[in-house]
Structures are given as C-alpha cells and as structure tokens.
Amino acid sequence: MTIVDSPNIPRGLTALANPTRFLALVRIVLPFLTLITVILLAIGLWMGFSVPDDYQQGRTVRIMFVHVPSVWMAMGAYMVMVSSALGVLVWRHPLADVAARAAAPLGACFTFLGLATGSIWGRPMWGTWWVWDARLTSFLILFIIYLGLMALWNSIEEPARSARMAAVAILVGAINIPIIKFSVDWFTTLHQPASVLRSDGPTLAPEFLYPLFTMGLAFLFLFLTLHLMAMRNEILRRQIRTLQRKATRDIRAKKQATT
Amino acid sequence: MNEIFGTQYFGFIASSFGITLFVLLAITFWILWTHRARRKALAKLEAAGIKRASSK
C-alpha cells in the first residue's frame, strides 16, 4: 500500500506525498513568501529602531527584536521537527523525514542566534556573558540536540532506518521544549520571567510589543521560506542518490553481461 | 548610527544585529548554493543518460 492509498493519512497531506507535485507547489509559493518576508523584515526593523529607550535597559532593549524572534523560531523549528517525526512514525509520509531534516540546520542557526544575542544582551544588563541557570542551560542543550540530530542523520546510510532513528530521537528531545519554556517559573534564574507568551497576557508595553510581534512574524516567514528551499534541496539530494545507485547497478549489470 | 544604536552600548547593539544579519545571510546563501550545485549534478546525470523513471 502506498501513502496515497493509506486510510491513516489526513487527506490534505496525501496531495503532497508526491515530491514532483510538492516541488511544483514550492516553485509557485516561494516568490510570494520571499516578498512577504522582505516587507515584514523592513517594517519590523523600522518599527524596532523607532521605539523609545527603555527606562531600565536604555537603548539595549532593541536587542530584544532579534533575540526573542530567534528564540521563538529555535523552538518553533523543533516543533516542526516533532510533527515531522510523528509523520515518519505514524503516517510514514515520504516528505516527513525531508521536512525534519531540512528544519534541523535552520533550528540550529536560530538557536545559535538566540544564544549569541542573549549573551551580548546579558553583558551590559546582567554584567556577565553567560551564567549556568536553567533557561540558558536548557537552551544550550537545544543547540546540542540540533547538532546531535544532524550527526545522526549523516551517520546512518540506510534512509528508512535513519529516518526512524532520528524521529525517535526528536520525540525524546522534545522533553526539553517545555523545560526551556517553564524553566524561568520552575527555577530561580537570572533570566527574566516570560513577558509575552503568558496566560494572563503580555506585560510588555505596546510600543515594544507591536515591533516585537512584527519581527516575530518576519522571522516566521523567513523560516517558512528557508524551510521550503531546504526541503527542495533535500528532495534533489535524494533524487541524485537514486540516480547514482541506478548508474552503479547499470554498470554492474553490463560488466556481468560481458563476462 | 548613533541615533539607531546610541553611544553607550553601540558595540553590543550593533554586534547583535550584525551577527543576526551575518548568520541569516550565510544560511540563505548556503541553501541557494546547495540548490545550484544539486541542480547541476542532477542535470549532469541526466545528460549522461541516467534518468528518473518519471522523466522517461
């Protein structure tokens, strides 16, 4: 039974099971996504650089407009990988492993940016580049998880096995996401508690909140654009590998025919 | 520049935005370069007569 025949697959997903159809969709969608990303980034940066100085943090508050969206996307990319891992293990969707594998380097980049900009922001505000508190340490662990997953994919030759192993590892690593989110509530940390994604609403002043949401949206569209581009690359890599194997088989068959 | 980054924390703010720009541009160009290289490799294989079943 192919994925298209499978009754377990949600109907919308079966249409994209064919990589050729998926690539055609990417070709149509990518220019629009790129345009929206550029516009949102321009608006977000303009809004971000127009905010007044914060009464406590002064002008360094502007670092928030790259730090917080990077952190959101670092965790968002991991959630994409979690849903892809379910796609591999539950529905066996052929593009699920492609999506997970394409999201990992992007997630690693956003995590690195979250760590780097957070460290740069921490130096003038906390007086230190780094502290081993629960929020910073769990976020560093997320970066290590991303690197580990990329190493895992590259270390197993057989595609189905590497997809399954990585999917299980992604689901195990997902335990770190709520730890990152709630670490500031569960432990005493130097990092401030949540001020945007709170059950009782954001505590951030609107003049900072709207530029932050705009930059968050810009980073989301940037991630979607880069993710589709990276998925397209992964599909091409698999097509090349298939053709190379076919070429090797053809050469062997010819050799056997002549001997 | 002083208007945007201020004078007191210029280095911290500028380096935060600078590193973000550098990393995001680097990953974008890496993805674009990889796409170009893979398209070339695929075209080379197809030119050598090794084609996918769907393209026959």
Percent of chain B at pLDDT > 90 equals 61
**Would the pLDDT of B54 be above 80?**
no
A181/A185 Cα distance (integer angstroms): 8
Q: Which of A34, A70, A117 to mutate to test the interface with B (most CBs of B within 10 A)?
A: A117
Report ipTM for this prediction. Answer: 0.87
DSSP state of A62: G
Compute CA A70 distance to the chain's CA centroid, rounded to the nearest angstrom: 10
Q: Which of A106, A124, A232 sits opposite B9 (nearest CB)?
A: A124
Residue in B closest to A129 by C-alpha:
B12
Identify whether the C-beta of residue A62 lies closer than 8 Å to the C-beta of residue B12. Answer: no
A179/A78 Cα distance (integer angstroms): 13
Give average pLDDT by consecutive 10-residue segment, chain A, 259 residues: 48 69 92 97 94 85 95 97 95 91 97 97 91 94 97 91 95 96 86 78 86 96 97 94 87 84
**B9 vs A60: CB contact, 8 Å cut-off?**
yes
In this predicted model, what pLDDT tens digit does every residue of A140-172 receive, in sequence order?
A: 999 999 999 999 999 998 888 999 999 999 999
Question: How is chain A split into domains, by residue range?
Answer: 18-50, 61-187
Residue B35: helix, strand or coil by DSSP? helix
Compute CA A9 distance to the chain's CA centroid, rounded to the nearest angstrom: 23
Measured in angstroms, the CA of A243 and the nearest CA of chain B are apart by: 6
Residue with the larger pLDDT of the pair A190 and B25: B25
Residue A99: helix, strand or coil by DSSP? helix
What contacts A210, CB < 8 A, 6 or more positions away?
A47
What is the pLDDT at residue A8?
A: 55
**A66 vs B20: CB contact, 8 Å cut-off?**
yes
Chain A residues close to B48, C-beta within 8 Å: 247
Chain A residues close to B16, C-beta within 8 Å: 63, 66-67, 116-117, 120-121
**B50 vs A232: CB contact, 8 Å cut-off?**
no
What is the pLDDT at residue A252?
A: 86
B5/A75 Cα distance (integer angstroms): 28
